[in-house]
Amino acid sequence: MQYKKILFPIAAGEDVVPRIYGALKVAKWFNTHMQILSAQLDPSSVYNMKMTLRGGVLYEEFLKNAKDDLEEANAKNYAEFEKICKEFDISISDKPIDGKASASFKVKEGKRSIVFEDEAKFCDLIVASVSMTGKITGSFEAAVMKSGKDCIVIPRNLTEFNPQNILVSWAATPSNSRALTSSLPILKQAKKVHCITARAALGENAEHSLNMLKEYFELHGINATYEIINTSSIPGEALLKEAKNGNFDLVVAGRQGENGLREMFLGGTSRFFLEHTDIPVFL
């Protein structure tokens, strides 16, 4: 699939600029349009203290200062966005430009989780940065898990995106299968594709499943290598170890179970993986 629009929802934080930098690296690689979306609540809907402050005078002054702070932060972030776009030769545009990477920076009023969930339904791909703690935040869940879209989760300090060495995490689940097919255009451009599975996930069917996967990849002209690995008692640790030891640029995995990312490949939660990875993950 040729992506026409990528959405990057961004929440507040002191490290906004590195996250914008990483997201635009992804947009540049795909040579497509990225919409960077920031959502914020109207301060007057949050700080409703007019009844408790004398005559409303202090409230109005407080409200003005809060709005000024938001406008200053937005202006600063936009200036950094412009600077990075210039560095990457990305055109600033509200709409895609054929054959060229482009980007827009939009601030929308409303609750983040609601805004992100709504906007995410109308894009081809989502890029989301992992939270600082590895926990699945409300904003992250809304954009990634409730949109029904493919997603690339990036570390908060991503400086390069060039997926030439890709690790495929295979568990033979429906979501894993969907991620596999969706990632085919990326896999076809890679120099190396290595597929792993765990006997704990597939049991005696592991070898057969990998052979079927090999046939599927060969059908699409992908020459990959295959391995059955051992897991550890810490969920996500084996996958992370394989990803780092192999110097992979990207991991392809599936969102499993009703809890989505909370049950990434190799069993258990993905928190360990998300807390420790510095490698992007295609889901």
Q: What is the pTM of this model?
A: 0.85
| Domain spans, the chain | 5-154, 165-282
Q: Please count the CA atoms within 13 angstroms of the CA of 141 that sit on its side-chain side.
A: 10
Q: Which CATH superfamily is domain 5-154 in?
A: HUPs (3.40.50.620)
Domains 5-154 and 165-282 share a fold: yes
CATH fold, domain 165-282, is Rossmann fold (3.40.50)
pLDDT tens per residue across all 283 residues of the chain: 689 999 999 876 678 999 999 999 999 999 999 999 988 766 555 555 444 555 555 666 666 666 666 778 888 899 999 999 999 999 999 999 998 999 999 988 888 888 888 888 899 999 998 877 666 677 777 777 777 888 999 998 899 999 999 999 888 888 888 889 999 999 999 999 999 887 777 777 888 888 999 999 999 999 999 988 877 656 567 778 888 888 899 999 876 543 434 444 333 435 566 667 789 999 8
Q: How would you write 11-40 as a 3-class SS string? A: CCCCCHHHHHHHHHHHHHHHCCEEEEEEEE
Burial status of residue 66 (CB atoms within 10 A of its CB: 0-12, 13-18, 19 or more): middle
